[in-house]
Amino acid sequence: MFLRAPCKVNLTLDVFNKKEHTDVYHNLDSLVVLFGQPADELRIYIEPTNNKTSITLLCSDSRLPNDNRNLAYRAADVYLKHIDEPFHVKIELDKHIPAEAGLGGGSSDAAAVLRALNIYFNHRIDQTTLMAMAARLGSDVSSFLAEKPVRMRGYGDVIETLHCELPSLYGVVVRPNTGVSTAHAYALLDAIPNRQPGSSTEQLLSCIRADKDSSIDIVTLLAKKLSNDFESVIFAAYPTIAEAYDMVLSAGALRALLCGSGSAVFGLARNSQHAEQLVNQLAPHFPFVTNVSTATLETFTINHF
């Protein structure tokens, strides 16, 4: 089976403080959209075996683990344990989504493996159970199983498909030569005493609902409302990311936005032509630059060999 795994951008990201020191995850409130590129590519081979279940993961990026530390491997392991039948699964993972960028590459790979296996096994696991399985793998994984843009709450386990339509969005994504550990990003937030989390997700959705029948350009509205609670602490700790943010704005983006916990920066464009202009201006300055546009999961079809 062959399939592509999309990246994501959090148009809003409100991060709430842990209620207890023993809490493992922070609660989130986020509006998540998928982008058609960059996208990882996966080839998955499945065959029954008389012996115990086994998994082989081959990754194009040698810096990434190829065992249970990799979310794609872990997704296959969790799925096969659930159906409790011996199979050998081989995953060939060709990475195009940069790591430690906040674009959800690892989570997307895990969701792609769950989708592929569930199709192979004729949807043996219902969607509700599959979503719960995804949430246990990681806080972003469930959002990559949703057909449309979603509001993600809880620690990523509460997924609500948006009832209001978002327009097609275009832009640019740049990644400086710096990665950000998600754990470190959260630690930076936790170090702020009496931090007040944002409420941008609810504000943005309220504006979209209120203005859906008006003549206001929704892209202009989005440019004013995009928000990420990580920005202040990440920019202070990583000057190169703050510089990338400023450069995206200087190139003419309607709005710049930190992607997840970083290190990539998204620049919102008026249309696809504007996005290409941004790419051309920014390409000489970053090791990774690409134009992006929103996509839905149905465009990421699974092809059988």
Active site residues: 8, 140
The number of residues in the chain equals: 305
Q: Is the dihedral of CA 209, 37, 265, 216 positive or negative?
A: negative
**DSSP state string for 222-280:** HHHH-EETTHHHHHHH-HHHHHHHHHHHHTT-SEEEE-TTSS-EEEEESSHHHHHHHHH
E strands of the chain, at which residues? 2-15, 28-48, 54-59, 87-94, 150-154, 158-161, 170-175, 227-228, 255-258, 265-269, 288-295
Distance CA(161)–CA(184), nearest Å, equals 30
Distance CA(244)–CA(217), nearest Å, equals 27
Q: Are 30 and 15 in contact (CB under 8 A)?
A: no
Give SS3 for 101: coil
**Which residues make beta-bridge pairs with 58?**
92
Which residues, in sequence order, are CB contacts of 68 under 8 Å at separation 6+? Answer: 74, 77
Which pair of structure tokens corresponds to residue 60? 């194009």
Distance CA(215)–CA(10), nearest Å, equals 25
**Which residues make beta-bridge pairs with 7?**
35
